[in-house]
Amino acid sequence: MGANLAMLDGTDLARAIIKTPTIDDGLRTYEATPLPRSVQAAEGAAEGIGSTVAPDSATTTLGHMTQHH
């Protein structure tokens, strides 16, 4: 998951720099993107980890994996 987020962040940063007049403008534009995506990824990871130790872990884990296709 971390590598995928890093690649998305790199792509978003490059696009923001290309589309704005200055690098500083590009950085400001880009900075609004990664945090919400990271929060969503962290919440999904926490849910997945929590489901692996639950009494019904097999069912919960399968539901988690099929929900985020």
pLDDT, tens only, 19-50: 999 999 999 999 988 888 888 888 888 877 77
Assess whether pLDDT exceeds 70 at residue 69.
no
Give the DSSP H/E element, type plus range, for residue 60. Answer: helix 57-67
pTM beyond cutoff 0.75: no
d(CA 28, CA 20): 10
Tokens 């962040």 correspond to 9
Residue 51's pLDDT is 67
Return the top range by mean pLDDT from 1-5, 6-10, 46-50. Answer: 6-10
Percent of the chain topping pLDDT 70: 93
